Every structure is written in structure tokens, then in C-alpha cells.
Structure 1
Amino acid sequence: GRGYLGVKISYDYERNVLGIESCEATVHSSEQRIELLSKYQKDLCDNTKYKATSTIVDSETNFQKLFYQTFNFHSSSFLLCSLHACGSLSCSLLYHFVKNSSVQAIANVACCYHLLEEKYIANPFTNYYNETDPCSFPLSHRLIEEKTKLGRNARMLAVQSFERNKADQTLNAGLWYRALMQVILIEIYGLTTNLQDIKLGKLTKRSLTFEEYVWKALNKLKLDKTKITSNVINNYWIRYESYHRQLHTFIQLKVLFSGLIEMMILLDRLVFLQESVPTASSYLVALFDPIKSPRRWCLISLK
């Protein structure tokens, strides 16, 4: 990322911090951010020991080499810290903690569970499946023995936040608009196949009315707007308004299971660490307010 956490740790605790980011443009952006901050906090650039490098972290990444190339001196003890490590990146960091004696500690806040590669289920986009390939779930012997599988729908649900949905009831407006828009696409535009592939994005971000949403969606999909009028759109709203509460209730019931699935993924990782490095002290710690940060759990392990 742009080094928010790395700069903070480096400046406050006077630690050498190496920020690893796969995108060179993001690394450049992080450097610009530090320069900008230094205008308001003049000693930041002089005192920070944060540096960034562009590379992809995988099972072959040599952190000692990267550190030496960046700071020009050797270190044999590392803490791997990630906020938020997307998809399989979290698991790559866990593997390094287990296999690399120089990695003495890990603090991992994960995200994007829908991008994980499962051991016992085919990738829905490639239909590829091989039990012998490295995977992100399951990791623990217990779940491997039971050939536990989740599936993409369950992993998509794991990234939802019950607490945030409960606090902000407007979050489901986009789903209601999208569902009603799909009826229009079927009945007026005759789209009956591959509807799941239609991507509309966050069109409801600025509190649009449903009519505004429809016009924006038609523009994005490049469909003929002369086939529909404001009156027709309003009639669809009236016709299906009674289903709004049913959809809302269904979504709330689904989100009730989000924490359960997320915890299954995280406990699998915790048990994996306990199995692989039994002498280490490993914990799951609730660090953040779940309304402000739905990914509140941090997996911590110390050798």
C-alpha cells in the first residue's frame, strides 16, 4: 500500500520498516505522501526509517536480501506486519513465519477472503482443481483431514460486516436497486443469460434515487434509453416495492453468518500456526471497532 502503517511505526518507534508493494506506481505515491507530510511535520523525512520497494511477495521471497538491498545493512530478525493483506498474501506470510527462522513475529490483519484459493474446490473462473497445489484454505491438519470446503459464495459472505450493516441500514440500498434493475434488464431489454456478469459498480454511492440509478446503469451498459421512460421506471418501483422488506430481511439473515465463516478461516490459520510452530505464542486479537473497520481481527504470533 501507500505506507500508512509503516511510516507511523517507523516514526513513532524509530524502527527500520520496509514496505513491500507489488505496484511501482503505489510505491511512488507513498514517497510523494511522505514528502507532502514533511511540509507539515518537518522532522518526518529526516527521522523516519521507512523505505518502500516494489516486488511480489510469494513463497520464494527473500526478506533478508530485500532488506539489505534497501537499507544497505543486514538484519537477521523480522516482524511481518500487514494491514490489510489481500487474499492469499496473508497465507504466504504465514508460510514465511513457519519456514523462515529470521521471521520472529507476525501481525496479520487479512481481507478479501473471496480471492483465496481452496484446496478441495475448483476455481470458479478457471474450473481448475488440484489437491496437491499450494492453497489458502484449509491450512490446518484438522480441516485438511475432513476435506473442508467453503466455496466462493461463502467466502464472499465472509467479507461482509454484520455490525456495519446493523449500524447503517442504507448499505443494502444498492442491492435493492440492483435487483430491481435486473428485472428491467430482463423484461424490457430481453437480457436473460449471463446476468451475473453484468457489473454496475457503486452507482448508489451518492444517494441516488432509483430513477437516477437506472439512467446511470443504462449509460454504463450502453443500452438504448429510448426503450424506457420515467413513468415506466416509477411503475416498476411501485410494482415491486412490497418485496423490498423481504430482500432486506434475507440479506440480514445472510450477514448473520458472515462472522462465523470469517472466524472459521481465521481459526484455521491460528491452528495452523500452533501445529507448525508449537513453541510460538499465537493469538487472535480484536484490534478495531468493527463498524469502522470490518476486518477487526489480527493474527499475532511470536517465536
Structure 2
Amino acid sequence: MSSRIHKLHGQIDTVIAYLSPFLQLANCHMVEFLTDDHWNTLLPCKLREYLDRCDLNDAVEQFWRFAEGKYTDDNELSKWVQETRNHCLAVDNEYCLSTDQLQEHIRLWGGDERSEVRISEFMNSKKSYEVQTMSRLVASLSTACKSTHCVEAGGGRGHLLVALSLAYHLPSLTIDCDERTLASARKRVNIIQKQWHAIAKRIKDGNEESILGSFNSDLHRFAMNFITNDTDLVEIVREKFPEHSHSDVKLLLTGLHTCGNLGPASLRLFVRSPQTSALLTVPCCYHLLTEDVDEMIFDVFQRDYGDSKWGQGFPMSERLRGYNLGRNARMLAAQSMDRVVHNRQLPDKSLLYRALLQVIIKKHLPNLPVTEGKLKGISSKCQDFNEYFKMADSLLKLGLESLPETYLTDMHTNMDCQWKKIVLFYLVRLCLAQIIENVILSDRLLYLFENGFLKSYLVKLFDPVLSPRCHSIVAVR
């Protein structure tokens, strides 16, 4: 067994051993915070006792300091933040690289380093930053693996590949399953091509300079296909690039935020296709992964959203076969600890209002199924819980308008105490997010190792504050 695989086994085993006792905490639903007494039943005992003694503002300020690595106090909250942080992904030169370290690997693989290109229009600042960072590395990697075409899985608006085709002259194919999305993307790409010399700048030594010279606007093409584990990417490329149909085709498979099971499907396509020479994808939407989960144990809102065309989204590796995370845990993994801490962002008051509403529903209408989507955004229109309740009662047609005013007044009695608990519970639970993401991404890396692709890495591609799904998966055949 390769030493890299052996070490990764040990790393994953350590993370799972730490995480597994907290899966119930990760899979809880904040709607049931009060009805199921999450504060007393799910938090570690010593941590809960410490937080019970704390003032809300003081505990929150402590949390911000600890989350930034300023462990000035030795208490249960500090221990919790440190322990959870120790089980998150970190750039370590072994499995998780920085972008500079990836570029060094590309040079060792025989590739060239390309300059960054910034596109200043037709993208929001987040997308522009992601395209600027990722397109350079994809272009550099393509020189190392000698790819003839770049294929983007689930390309949506085509932002990444328009940069690859115009700035780096790579024949590029955006594949998406939605015709309306592709039609909109074609129009947007045509506009970008017409404005290219005005909106694109090459970055050298920290300075921007104009991009001179002509470009081939026909290098970026589109295909409408639903990608599964059995999709023949080479056939699609030959169809969309008929002028290359008799040439050898070597693909670089990429994707900027491959949603849900599209991420695992991309890895499986890379493994099964000898003509796919490299992979560089950024996954997202972990909650949409298919997983063999017992919904009665973990997730009260679990739905049958599986699709046999995809195969199982998690786990992918043989090592983790039979291990389950749960949909709420995977949804938690998509939350950004870094962004919350950077913005000092506390949960919305709607969490408390919805939990209070659930108490009323459980007491008066215990068998009523509630459609969560109908309540989305209503808290911003309400001054207090009374207004929230009346609006929810009307939207859900609960028939509880006859409840006496004193009943709702009683709900306010302990609201400050419950708000404190919800805020601190939210922050404590958030610390598990990056651990769960670590398990998901490490499982994918191990899948590549198990299939013989030891030139595979996780790469911290983006600033997690700007782009919370900041890790990519890179593999070279």
C-alpha cells in the first residue's frame, strides 16, 4: 500500500472518530431547537454548563477571538473551537496544497505558468475573482497534461471557459443540462467577446496591462447534456468540434462549483476515461449529494431525491463504504465559518421565531405537516414575534388566530434567554461545518488514490471569506 494512501487512511479515521459522536448535533434542525430541547440534549455537558454561566455578548466576543486563533483564555469554549479547528482541512504540503504549491507541482510535471487575467464586467466581484484565480491554474495544468480541449461540467453561464478560450486560446466546451441557461450563456459570451479588449486585463507582477492581439471567438462552444457516470465526453467533444474529429483528443475536465452529485460524477468520468488527462474541479451543494441515510435517525426533513444515473454521491471510497453523514450535516458543511467570523455575523431572529412557532404547532396541531418554503423571508417583514405568528398563521392556514393574546405574551417571557441559547448553539454547531467538508473532500481524494491516481490533491484555491467553497480537487493521469 502506498504510504500516501496509508497516511490518508489514518487522517480520515482520526477525523471520523472525532466527528461521529457529534453527528446528531450536526443533523439537528433549528426548527426543533425548543421542542426537542437541543440545548440540553445535544451540546457537550461541560461546554453547555460553561455557556450557561456566560453573558451572551461576552460569550460571542470570546467566540470571535477563538475562531481567529486568539486563544487568550483556557475555558470550555476555547477548547471546543481549538479541537474542531484541528480537524479541519489545512494546507499541509501532503494532501492539501496552496495555489503556489500547485503551480510548483505543475512545473515539475512539465507545465508552464500562465499569468492571471481579470475580467471586469459581466460578472459579479466574487465570480470575477474565482475565474481570475482558477482559469490561470487550469490553463497552466493543460500545458502539463498536454490537453487538446477543456471540458466544463455543469458550466452554467460559461464564465470560466470564456476566459480559457479568449485569454489562453484553449478549445473549450461548456456542458450543461438546461437549454435556457445555455441560451443565456451564449448571448453573454458573445457580448464578452465583443468587449474583450476593453474589459480584460492581464496581470503581471501585480500590475494590469491590456491584452493585445486577436483571438478566435469560435474556440468556446456549448453542449446540452445531462452528465452521468456513463457520459462519453470524448464523443461530445468530437461532435461539437467536428474539425478535430480525426485528431487525438485529450481532455482536461473542470468545473467551477460542480453541484451535488455532479462532483462525484466528474471524478468517476476522469477515472474511467483514458482520454481525460487531468481534472480540476471545485465542488459545492453537498446537501444535494445522494447518500444511503436512515432518515429516521438523522434527518426529519429527508426526502427521496436519489437518482440511479449518478451513483452514490457519498461516500465514494471503499474505505468509507457504509458510513453516513446525513443531509443536515452535509447542508451544514456548506456554511462558511470563515465568512461568519469575518463579518461577525449572528443568526437571524427568524431562527428564534420559527422555533417558538414550532412550540405552538406541536401543542395545538401536533400532526400538521409544515411546508418550510412558505415561511421564507417573512421575519424581515415583522417587528416582533406577534407579527411573525399572525403572518405565519395566515400563510400556513393554521387556524390559530383565536389564541388569546396572553398566550403569545407568555411566549415572550423567556425570549432573551432562548435567544442567547440559539445564538451560542448556532455558533458552536457551526464549528463542525468544515470538519464535515473535510470528510467529504478527503473521501473523494481517497477514491482517486484507490483507483491508482496518486498525483491527486486537494487545493485551497480561493479565499474562504470571498468564496466559501474554496477547495478544489486536482488529479493528473
Asked if Structure 1 and Structure 2 have the same fold, meaning a TM-score greater than 0.5 normalized by the shorter chain, the answer is yes
* Equivalent residue for 1:117, pick from 282, 290, 300: 290
Tell me if structure 2 keeps the 8 A contact 1:7–1:48: no
* Structure 1 pair 103–237 and aligned structure 2 pair: CA distance change class (3 A): farther
Name the structure 2 match of 1:100. 273
* Equivalent residue for 1:180, pick from 341, 351, 356: 356
State the Cα distance separating 1:285 from its structure 2 match: 0.7
State the Cα distance separating 1:199 from its structure 2 match: 2.5
* Structure 1 pair 286–37 and aligned structure 2 pair: CA distance change class (3 A): same
Name the structure 2 match of 1:192. 366
State the Cα distance separating 1:181 from its structure 2 match: 3.5
- Give the letter aligned to residue 320 of structure 2: L
The 5 A counterparts of 1:144-223 are: 144=321, 147-170=322-345, 172-173=347-348, 174-186=350-362, 190-193=364-367, 197-200=371-374, 202-203=376-377, 209-210=383-384, 213-214=388-389, 217-218=392-393, 220-222=395-397
Name the structure 1 match of 2:220. 50
Structure 1 residues 112-165: Cα deviation after superposition (integer angstroms, max 9, x where no partner) = 11222225757942499x9xx932222222222xx3221223222211221122
* Equivalent residue for 2:182, pick from 27, 30, 40: 27
* Equivalent residue for 1:251, pick from 426, 436, 439: 426
Tell me if structure 2 keeps the 8 A contact 1:11–1:48: no
State the Cα distance separating 1:275 from its structure 2 match: 1.6
* Equivalent residue for 2:264, pick from 91, 96, 106: 91
Cα distance in 1 between the residues matched to 2:411 and 2:345: 20
- Give the letter aligned to residue 138 of structure 1: P
Tell me if structure 1 keeps the 8 A contact 2:279–2:475: yes
Cα distance in 2 between the residues matched to 1:205 and 1:28: 36
SS of corresponding position for 1:108: strand
SS of corresponding position for 1:47: coil
Name the structure 1 match of 2:460. 286
* Structure 1 pair 238–200 and aligned structure 2 pair: CA distance change class (3 A): farther
* Structure 1 pair 208–268 and aligned structure 2 pair: CA distance change class (3 A): same
Name the structure 1 match of 2:444. 269
Cα distance in 2 between the residues matched to 1:37 and 1:229: 60
State the Cα distance separating 1:17 from its structure 2 match: 1.3
Residue 171 of structure 2 is aligned to residue 16 of structure 1: yes
* Structure 1 pair 201–98 and aligned structure 2 pair: CA distance change class (3 A): farther
Higher RCO (CA < 8 A, seq sep 6+): 2
Tell me if structure 1 keeps the 8 A contact 2:293–2:326: no
Structure 1 residues 240-267: Cα deviation after superposition (integer angstroms, max 9, x where no partner) = 2321010111111111111111101100
Cα distance in 1 between the residues matched to 2:378 and 2:354: 9
* Structure 1 pair 265–49 and aligned structure 2 pair: CA distance change class (3 A): same
Tell me if structure 2 keeps the 8 A contact 1:64–1:76: yes
* Structure 1 pair 206–293 and aligned structure 2 pair: CA distance change class (3 A): farther
Tell me if structure 1 keeps the 8 A contact 2:375–2:392: no
State the Cα distance separating 1:224 from its structure 2 match: 5.9
Tell me if structure 2 keeps the 8 A contact 1:14–1:48: no
* Structure 1 pair 171–181 and aligned structure 2 pair: CA distance change class (3 A): farther
SS of corresponding position for 1:142: coil
Name the structure 1 match of 2:320. 143
* Structure 1 pair 105–221 and aligned structure 2 pair: CA distance change class (3 A): same
Cα distance in 2 between the residues matched to 1:205 and 1:67: 49
Name the structure 1 match of 2:115. none
Tell me if structure 2 keeps the 8 A contact 1:77–1:103: yes
| RMSD (CA atoms) | 3.3
- Give the letter aligned to residue 141 of structure 1: E
Tell me if structure 2 keeps the 8 A contact 1:22–1:56: yes
Structure 1 residues 190-242: Cα deviation after superposition (integer angstroms, max 9, x where no partner) = 33235564324640696864466556545543556955799986774454232
**TM-score normalised to structure 2 length:** 0.55
* Structure 1 pair 10–208 and aligned structure 2 pair: CA distance change class (3 A): farther
Tell me if structure 2 keeps the 8 A contact 1:203–1:213: no
Percentage identity across paired residues of the two chains: 31
Cα distance in 1 between the residues matched to 2:420 and 2:184: 44
